[in-house]
Structure 1
Amino acid sequence: MSKSIKKIGVMTSGGDSPGMNAAIRAVVRTCAFHKVDCIGIYRGYQGLIEGDFKEMNARSVNNIVNKGGTILKSARSQEFRTVEGRKKAHSNAMEAGLDALVVIGGDGSFTGAMIFSQEFDFPVMGIPGTIDNDIYGTSSTLGYDTALNTVVEAIDKIRDTASSHNRLFFVEVMGRDVGHIALNAGVGAGAEEILIPEENLGKDRLLESLKRSRESGKTSSIVVVAEGDTTGENVFDLKDYVEQNLPEYEVRVSVLGHMQRGGSPSCWDRVLASRMGVKAVESLLDGKSNYMVGIQDSKITLCPIDQAVKGKTDIDLELLRVSDIMTT
């Protein structure tokens, strides 16, 4: 992988996240700064298989730093999971003169990049774009900060109506495997209880917490639930359980869903995307490959992409303790 890099492809893959456009902009403009050609690949790996390419320059990415989603679109490709599909993708990459690839996405996207690189000795670099913040090797992924702010704003509004009607609201947020959004947004929004996959507190503990809240004089409550929490079968099961055991509560459920992925990225995500995009391109030009760009202790770092795929993120246990104290 020591060949000279003269043309770099950039794609977004998997679920979209705020900050992806800012990262695309950074990759394209860093290529322009170093006089390297840049090709935008539409619809992720499926676009790579179908040759859905477009030449990009510094002006191609005007006015996108503030936009959510991804101008390059995204798609999940079953065909790329096959050897034949990856051969088509490589053939198109060679025909287009691509020397390296920047993949913006999550662990599934990085797995595809890693396999592609191994099979064809093709340089790749990953940028973590996912609101769940569940990628090992970085303290923050693109879109996570924006999603937190979106969730906190939504919970603040839900609390207004909860207080007005003396209601208990279960608010479900994204986080199938990890509870970073639920935990941080729950503390930030002052939730009375936070349910996450990493800590199954059980239904009895939930009831006791809600009873204490009621006895302490609280007339309304917010419980933030990560979608992967296993306290109940689902958030509606929890609602039914509380209504059966604490009939004094009027219970409602609000599932925030995909609104968490949308919206204009926060300043933090825009700056992070810009720093990561520059690092990704310049690392490829320095001859590096099979890394993910991350951030640790405010410094931009490189993590071997196989570690990013295989590693697991840890929940902040200190924040759990803070949450318990705040619900007193």
Structure 2
Amino acid sequence: MSHTDLSQPVAGLDIGSRRFLHAGPLRWLRSFGWAVALFFIFGLAIAAVQLWPGMAIKGEGALRALATLGLCVVAYGLYAGIVRLAEGRWPSELALRPAIAELLIGLLIGAVMLSVVVGLLVGLGLYEVSGPRAASPWGMIIVGISSGFMEELVLRAIVLRLLMRAFGAWPALVLSAALFGALHLTNPNASPMAAIAIAVEAGLMLAAFYMLTGRIWMSVGVHAAWNFAQGWIWGARVSGIEVKQSLYLSNPKPGAPDWLSGGDFGPEASVPAMVVGTLVAVVVLYWAWKKGNFRAAPDAPKVEAV
């Protein structure tokens, strides 16, 4: 069976069932505690990926992008090693064989989704777009790499997976999406409405692709391409952050209601983004449910430590 065939039934998601996550008393508490510990460990990794290349390499060119990608690879290797030691398995959520195909599919989906959102904003008379113009894409490529790879590792491979182990699929989806939205409250121009929009349209949608495949690669691609298309292609604010270099320039029209256009936070807080993201989330989550991926794979038999 092809690793990219998403239509075949599976026996549930591999979310860990050995060692620290073994069946028995207080499994939910052990799973939750493990999620918290990994969240803080790899939260520091996110900071390193975002800060170190900029401190060590001047400018926002290809070398800095490669350094950022290299640190992401190191972080993924660290995660795989920790999971192997603490959970007694190599993480199937990072399976390499389907990675390239699923990344490419995700990149296409993310770019198309964001472009549809901008098209709706323009069509509804909420946004104006000017350009094209000469601009370097490297800054937004770096943002796409760091946000796509690292945020998906933390929010999906760690938080969503381990909350599912602790509480089940639906609570995990709701809690991880809410956390994803809440984390964006620290961004410039953020508001409770923007956080809710991020939670609904992106938190659930990105989680859906993990639930569908059991791997994070498609979520990584969607997340990275969404940010890149929003920032470099269309020149809109990315989660409240103004973009310096972009092919086009997109802004809300004067007088456009903030609740409808997203205001200074950008298209992610707009009604069209919520509609598009939610529709995709519902379709993909339904597909994942039909596959049986709203349940965990059966517990692995006990094995001696190696």
TM-score, normalised to structure 2's length? 0.29
Q: Which has the higher helix share?
A: 2
Structure ID, larger Rg:
1
Higher relative contact order (Cα pairs below 8 Å, separated by 6+ residues): 2
Q: Which has the higher strand share?
A: 1
TM-score, normalised to structure 1's length? 0.28
